[in-house]
Structures are given as C-alpha cells and as structure tokens.
C-alpha cells in the first residue's frame, strides 16, 4: 500500500512539473509576461511617446507609504509627457498606466505570479532608490489611471489618475 501511495504522489508531482512548462510557455506568462500591460490599452489610454518630442517632464515619487506624489496629474490632449519616476522607498515599486479595469485585472495576475516584471512602454518597475522613465502621448481627452501592481500595494492605495483635457 505504501508503494502505491508513493507511486501516486510521484505521478502527481511529475504531472505538476510538466504542466508548469506549458504555463511558462503560454503567451504572456513568462518572467516579464510580454504583452501584459500594453497589449489592449494603447487606444484607450494613449500610446508610447517619442522621447524626442516630449512636451514636458513630470516628476513622480513612489514611497513605502504606498503613495505616489503627485497622485493627480493634469495634461492636455496631444501632449507627450516624460514621467521621471523615482522609487524613494526601500522595496520594489512600479508605475503602470492603464484603464481602471486593466489595472484591476492585471493586479489579480500579479497576485498569482508576484515575480512578474514589466517591460512595457506604459510601465516602469524600479528597485529601491532607482529612477526610470515612461514617455507617453495622451492623444484624447479622458482619464487614465496609474498604480503600483506589486502585491498588496494597489489595494493599499498606491494609485492615481491622469486627467487629460
């Protein structure tokens, strides 16, 4: 009986191991999850900007108090903004632009795979003390959300909004 139990446990472990390769190979589920943030959003929130055509630079600070400063940003439709994002905290933070629905959905994915890292034009993921840029063109009026999707940060209030007039 003990051999049968060990055999069953081994089969389950082998199946889980093999299944993990299928999940890792699936589009959007690798270490940086490919088209995760940017794939569905550009039309709704704007598009990656040309660094040579930046209208202005806005400094954004991220802290371990789970806040962005500023958390409300006003821009004009058609402006290309360089967000100069600084992580002044002691833990990893990120700034991701998106619709509220996209950010909520992606946060749920981050809970399942907290090791995901973002290399999309609408996001920057920074270790403590680091600075990075997002260059984005806001091409139509409306509201664009942003947030830190690291597990626990977004529901703790690490979010903000860009008002495009």
CATH (residue range 33-164):
2.60.40.420
Helix (H) or strand (E) holding 78, with range, is none
Q: Prior bond to 70 cis, omega within 30?
A: yes
Query: What are the residue ranges spanned by the domains of the chain?
Result: 1-30, 33-164
User: 76 with 49: CB under 8 angstroms?
Assistant: no
The percent helix, strand, coil of the chain (3-state, each to 5) is 25, 35, 40
Q: What is the pLDDT along the chain (165 residues), one digit of tens a residue?
A: 444 334 333 433 333 333 333 333 333 333 333 444 444 445 589 999 999 999 999 999 999 999 999 999 999 999 999 999 999 999 999 999 999 999 999 899 889 887 777 679 999 999 999 999 999 999 999 999 999 999 999 999 999 999 999
Q: What pTM value is reported for the model?
A: 0.74
User: 85 with 71: CB under 8 angstroms?
Assistant: no
> CB-based contacts of 14: which residues, under 8 Å, 6+ apart?
none
């Amino acid at each position: 009986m003990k051999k049968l139990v060990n055999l069953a446990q081994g089969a389950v472990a082998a199946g889980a191991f093999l299944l993990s390769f299928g999940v890792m190979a699936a589009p959007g589920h690798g270490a940086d999850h490919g088209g995760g943030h940017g794939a569905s959003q550009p039309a709704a929130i704007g598009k990656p900007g040309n660094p040579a055509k930046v209208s202005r630079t806005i400094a954004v600070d991220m802290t371990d108090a789970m806040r962005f400063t500023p958390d409300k940003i006003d821009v004009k439709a058609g402006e290309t903004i360089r967000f100069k994002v600084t992580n002044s905290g002691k833990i990893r933070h990120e700034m991701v632009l998106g619709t509220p629905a996209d950010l909520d959905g992606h946060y749920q994915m981050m809970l399942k795979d907290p090791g995901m890292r973002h290399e999309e034009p609408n996001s920057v993921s920074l270790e403590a003390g680091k600075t990075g840029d997002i260059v984005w063109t806001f091409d139509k009026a409306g509201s664009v959300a942003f947030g830190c999707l690291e597990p626990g940060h977004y529901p703790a209030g690490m979010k903000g909004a860009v008002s495009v007039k």
